[in-house]
């Protein structure tokens, strides 16, 4: 019986050593409100905002909240050629008061854009999330 307990403890210790820390849980957040482009008063197509994910994603889960309610859950993997992971269309931009985004079980990125007629680029590189606003989303490089 002692040998079984020792074997189980050994297996448990070895498996604990193989657990990796998920760096996607420990990201800093930067929201670039100051670089918001000038609104040219054109209505966005289809009365919607596009939330575009770019950066380093490898089967990461993104939860998107609109006005504090869960709107979408996506699994993101970055395309090696375009650098894009996914995009989500958020309908009725005039009704959106705030947007929350959480990668895996990391910090909630909370956005309250004062001007609502912008698409949003959500860029995750290593341990930093940068949020930028665009009238037209930039083309992939």
Buried b (16+ CB within 10 A) or exposed e, 8-24: eeeeeeeeeeeeeeeeb
Architecture of domain 23-134: Sandwich (2.60)
Q: Tell me what pLDDT residue 58 has.
A: 93
Determine the Cα–Cα distance for residues 98 and 134; give it in Å rounded to an integer: 17
pLDDT lower than 50: segments of the chain:
4-5, 7-9, 11, 14, 16-21, 23, 141
* β partners of residue 76: 60
Q: Tell me what pLDDT residue 107 has.
A: 92
Sheet holding 119-125, edge to edge: 28-31, 128-134, 119-125, 48-55, 84-91
Cβ–Cβ under 8 Å, residues 21 and 44 = no
* β partners of residue 100: 65, 110
What SS3 state is found at 8?
helix
List the structure tokens of 96.
Answer: 């959106």
Q: What is the pLDDT of residues 120-129, one digit of tens each?
A: 889 998 889 9
Cα dihedral 128, 25, 75, 117 in deg (nearest 10) = -40
Query: What predicted TM-score, i.e. pTM, was given to this entire model?
Result: 0.73
């Amino acid at each position: 019986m002692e040998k079984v307990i020792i074997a189980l403890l050994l297996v448990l210790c070895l498996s604990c050593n193989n657990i990796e820390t998920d760096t996607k849980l420990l990201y800093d957040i930067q929201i670039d409100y100051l670089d918001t482009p000038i609104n040219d008063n054109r209505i966005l197509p289809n009365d919607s905002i596009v939330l575009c994910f770019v950066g380093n994603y490898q089967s990461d889960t993104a939860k998107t909240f609109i006005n504090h309610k869960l709107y979408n859950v996506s699994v993101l993997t970055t395309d090696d050629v375009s650098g894009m992971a996914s995009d989500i269309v958020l309908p009725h931009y005039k009704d959106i008061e705030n947007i929350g985004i959480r990668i895996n079980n990391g910090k909630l990125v909370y956005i309250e854009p004062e001007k609502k007629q912008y698409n949003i680029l959500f860029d995750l590189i290593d341990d930093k999330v940068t949020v930028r606003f665009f009238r037209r989303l930039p083309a992939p490089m």
